[in-house]
Amino acid sequence: MERKTFSIPKISCGHCVMTITRELKELKGINKVEGNPQFKTVEVEWDPPATEAQIRATLNDINFPAV
C-alpha cells in the first residue's frame, strides 16, 4: 500500500473535500481518502492498479490540481 498527502490549494470547504473523495474513490485500488480543508490537503492510500499519476490526473480533471 502506498500513502501520500497531496497539497491542493483550491480546496476551500468540506464540499470540495467531498467532491475529491467521491471522484478518487471511483478509481480501482483507492483504499482511503481523507481531506483537510483548513490545511488544503488530501491524504490518499492506494494499492495497484491505482497510481500516483492516475490520482494526479483525476485531480486535474476535476479542477483540483495537486501542487
Residues in the chain: 67
Q: Looking at residue 24, what is its pLDDT?
A: 98
The reported pTM is 0.95
Which grid cell is 57?
490526473
Q: Looking at residue 29, what is its pLDDT?
A: 98
Q: Looking at residue 53, what is its pLDDT?
A: 98
Cis ω before 48 (30° cut-off from 0): no
**Domains present along the chain, CATH in parentheses:** 2-61 (3.30.70.100)
What pLDDT digit, counting tens, does each position of 1-44 carry? Answer: 999 999 999 999 999 999 999 999 999 999 999 999 999 999 99
Q: Looking at residue 67, what is its pLDDT?
A: 95
